[in-house]
Amino acid sequence: MEPLRIGVLAVQGNFREHVQMLRRLGAEAVEVRKPDQLDGLDGLIIPGGESTTFTRLMHLYGLDEAIRRFDRPVFGTCAGMIVLDRNHLGLVDLVVRRNAFGRQVASFETDLDVAGLSTPVRAVFIRAPWVEEVGPGVEVLAEVAGRPVLIRDGRFLLAAFHPELTDDTRLHELFLESVREADVVRA
Ligand code: GLN
């Protein structure tokens, strides 16, 4: 079986940890800094970082339009979740609130029950967003304090936390599975 080719948006933020995790899982990881680097990819990860910086740099390099045209599965984590919502790239039918957990608990770790997984996922939240409003097609896979923090909307998987910062590879595996399924549909 050919390894999957997964792009990781690498303009800023936590892209290296995603690249390492993808390689650990046997995928080919490609750092994406220019629009043409999206060509031929099976999927894309948009990492955590600073969403305002992402928005500025994506626009500067023409990556915003290129990501809008990209029609493969996308995994967004933290800032990567923010830039996909209705108020940014507008690709996922939800509204995200930045830095939602407030100053006191800006960063924390918790064991998260995730729909479909038999044991909890250790989730690292760093100045994390939560989901304020979801459209009807959006599937909520995990919540903290009644707020969605892991969702699926068709080919999009979004996490408010950082699955690339722990040794637990299950969410990346879940994403790679959806990439493989999308490849089957395309073939
Ligand atoms: N607070 C950041 C933002 O608003 C997101 C933090 C993160 O990605 N770890 O973009």
Q: Which tens digits make up the pLDDT trace of 91-124?
A: 999 999 999 987 666 899 999 999 999 999 999 9
Q: Is the CB of residue 99 below 6 angstroms from any atom belonging to ligand 1? A: yes
**159 Cα: distance to centroid of ligand 1 (angstroms):** 12
Confidence of residue 2 (pLDDT cuts 50, 70, 90): confident
Please give the number of the atom of ligand 1 that sits closest to the Cα of 78.
8
Tokens of 12: 């800023």
Q: Is the CB of residue 78 below 6 angstroms from any atom belonging to ligand 1? A: yes
CA–CA distance, 106 with 156 (Å, rounded to integer): 25
Please give the number of the atom of ligand 1 that sits closest to the Cα of 79.
8
Please give the number of the atom of ligand 1 that sits closest to the Cα of 54.
10
| pTM, entire model | 0.96
pLDDT above 80 for 187: no
pLDDT for residue 118: 97
Fold classification of 5-186 is Rossmann fold (3.40.50)
- Helix or strand holding residue 77 (H, E): strand 74-77
Tell me the percentage of the chain whose pLDDT exceeds 90. Answer: 92
How many C-beta atoms surround the C-beta of residue 69 within 10 A? 8
Q: Is the CB of residue 127 below 6 angstroms from any atom belonging to ligand 1? A: yes
Tokens of 146: 């009644």
What is the residue extent of each domain of the chain? 5-186
Confidence of residue 172 (pLDDT cuts 50, 70, 90): very high
pLDDT for residue 17: 98
Is residue 112 within 8 Å of 149, Cβ to Cβ? yes
CA–CA distance, 54 with 34 (Å, rounded to integer): 13
CA–CA distance, 87 with 41 (Å, rounded to integer): 26
Tell me the longest C-alpha to C-alpha distance in the chain. 49
Q: Which residues form the catalytic set? A: 78, 162, 164
Rounded mean pLDDT, 127-138:
94
Of 12-26, 35-49, 98-112, the poorest mean pLDDT is in: 98-112
